[in-house]
Every structure is written in C-alpha cells, then in structure tokens.
Amino acid sequence: MSQAAQSAPDEQPLLSTRFLLRTMVAISVLAVLTVAISIAGRSFGRHISLAGNTDSTAEITLTIGRDTVKFPENTIRFPSQRHDGGTERVDLYLAWPSMQGYGKDNHLRFDDVAQSSGLIFLQIAQSTMSRDMSGRLEPIYSHLIEGTAEPFRDGLTLHRLRADAGYGGEVLLTAPVKGGPDYVVRCILPSTPDKAASGDCQRDIKVGKDLSVLYRFSSSHLVDWEHIDAAIRLFVEPRLVNRSVTGP
C-alpha cells in the first residue's frame, strides 16, 4: 500500500458536515423546547398559585334536593361545582370574619396554607338526618359522653366522648343559647393554641326546606363561636330561592 493511501484517512475532517447539521438541528430543537417550557412554566405557575380559585362574583344557581340556592362563583371551592343546575352538594370557603370569597384583596388567605386558619369551609347537601348537631345532643351524644363535664372557655363546656364512640379523639363543646337549643360543636383540640388546624372544629345546622350545612373552622376562632354560627345562617339563608328560613 502506497504512502499516500496510508495518509488519506488522516486528511479527513474531524467533524463531518452531516454531523454538524444534526448538531445544529438538535440545538435549535432544544432552544424551541426551552422557550416552550418557560412559557408553559409561567402558565402552570399561575395555575398553581390560583389553585383553582376564581375572583368572579357571578352567581351560580344550584338545586340541592328541595332547595335552590345562589352563591357567588368565588365562594365555591371546587371548579367542577361552578355551574348552574342540580347537584348533590356544594362546597364553599369563606374568609372570616368578612364572609367573602376569593378576591385580589384577600387572596393570600386562600393561596397560603399558613393562613388557611382564617377560612371557614362549608359543605351544603340535602339532609340525611332529621336533627342537626344541636338536636342530636340529647338523643345521641349524651349517651356517648363519659366523665364529668369541664368548664372550657368563652362560655363553652367540654365533654369527653368515649374512646369506642368512633370520633377519633374529638371532644364535644356545648353552650346554652337563649331561646333555642344548646350550641354543640365537635373539635379535635390542639395541644397548644398555636397548633390549631384550619378545620379542627365542625358543626352542622339545618336551613331552608331540607338542607344541612356542615361547616368547619379553626379552634383558634372558638372565641367567636356564637358569631360564626349566626354569620353562617346570615350568609346562606338570604341566598335561598323561595326560601324557608330556619332559626335556632
């Protein structure tokens, strides 16, 4: 083999034209993908920050059982429930004490988990029981209480429920209400006030013809128990269509 033939391979370019072309195409594709990911990331980031919230106050008309109610769209918690028509239930969330839905002025209450204790959560559905929580005190809860009642705070009395009652560490808090049945709420009380969760107390009331309003709030707001109960009624009852108002 001649010396020229032996040296031929050494004279070939290190990077072929085809390889360079493929590399440039790959770089272009990566650049386009980077821009697309950046745009999608901003859009997705906004979606996460909204977390399904809306500041629209357009009224949504819902029929639940024998009742029809109208709620501002920004008070309805889940996007799938923000449409007119019949439904089995609707979930709401409201800032306390303003009783307002999501908006630009209070969005951190809804967006920031650390501030969620400032919200009240409602679940409105057709009643499945003939009595609300206050009405169940004597026929049901009184048989599940053990030990001696203890003075609590803010006019409330604490009752401990039997371990086998199925309430998972909850206690019962009651208070007399002038001209009506006793106030009753179930709570999982934190070891210290600063550890109160956003929905560690719950109570249900009856409104309209046949609606049950289950609402949850932070035990840090127990000082306002009477005001919260009245505010829930004042929020729901005026929004009933052909309403049949129920009082305490």
Report the pLDDT value the prediction gives residue 95, as an integer from 0 to 100: 97
Q: Phi and psi (nearest 5°) for 246?
A: -115, 135
Specify the amino acid at residue 95.
A
Give burial (CB, 10 Å; 0-12/13-18/19+) of 209. middle
pLDDT at position 162 over 60: yes
Residue 13: pLDDT band by 50, 70, 90 thresholds? low
- Spatial CB neighbours of 85, under 8 Å, sequence gap ≥ 6: 61, 62, 63
- Read off the pLDDT of each residue in 10-15 and give the average, rounded to a whole number: 50
What is the dihedral angle through the alpha carbons of 231, 121, 91, 239, rounded to the nearest 10 degrees? 10
Report the pLDDT value the prediction gives residue 194, as an integer from 0 to 100: 84
Across all residues in the chain, what is the average pLDDT?
Answer: 85
61/19: higher pLDDT: 61
Strands 201-207 and 211-217: antiparallel
0.75 cut: is pTM over it?
yes
- Read off the pLDDT of each residue in 169-196 and give the average, rounded to a whole number: 94
Report the pLDDT value the prediction gives residue 242, as an integer from 0 to 100: 72
Percent of the chain whose pLDDT exceeds 70:
77
What's the Cα-to-Cα distance from 71 to each of 184, 234, 236, rounded to whole Å?
A: 26, 13, 8
Report the pLDDT value the prediction gives residue 17, as an integer from 0 to 100: 66
Encode pLDDT of 17-58 as tens digits: 665 566 566 565 555 554 444 444 443 333 334 468 999 999
Report the pLDDT value the prediction gives residue 43, as an integer from 0 to 100: 37
Provide the edge-to-edge strand list for the sheet that holds 201-207. Answer: 89-95, 119-126, 211-217, 201-207, 180-187, 171-177, 157-161, 145-151
Which residues are paired to 89 by β-bridges? 125
Report which of 43, 46, 70 is spatially closest to residue 58, judged by C-alpha positions.
Answer: 70
- Read off the pLDDT of each residue in 142-165 and give the average, rounded to a whole number: 96
* Lowest-confidence segment of 38-47, 48-57, 135-144, 184-193 by average pLDDT: 38-47
Residue 243: pLDDT band by 50, 70, 90 thresholds? low
